[in-house]
Structure 1
Amino acid sequence: MEAAVWDTYVTKKDGKVMHFDIIVPADLKDENVIHNYGREYLKAKGQEGQPLTSKESKYCHTEKIKPQWIADIREKGYYIYEMENCD
Structure 2
Amino acid sequence: MQVAVWDTYVTKKDGTIMHFDIIVPAEITDATIIYDYGRDYLKSKNQEGQPLTAHECQFCHVEQVRTEWQNEIKEKGVFIYEMENCK
TM-score, normalised relative to structure 2: 0.98
- Deviation per CA, 1:11-66: give whole Å up to 9, x if none: 00000000000000001001000000000000000100100011100000000000
1:50 match: 50
Name structure 2 gaps, 5 residues minimum. Answer: none
Match of 1:5 in 2: 5
Q: Which runs of 4+ in 1 moved over 2 A?
A: none
> What letter corresponds to residue 83 of structure 1 in structure 2?
M
Where does residue 67 of structure 1 map in the other structure? 67
Q: What residue number does 2:39 align with?
A: 39
- Taking only aligned residues, the RMSD between alpha carbons, in angstroms, comes to 0.5
**How many residue pairs are counted as aligned between the two chains?**
87
* Fraction of identical pairs, as percent: 62
- 1:19 paired with 2:19, answer yes
User: So what's the TM-score if we normalise by structure 1?
Assistant: 0.98
Q: Which runs of 5+ in 1 are unaligned?
A: none
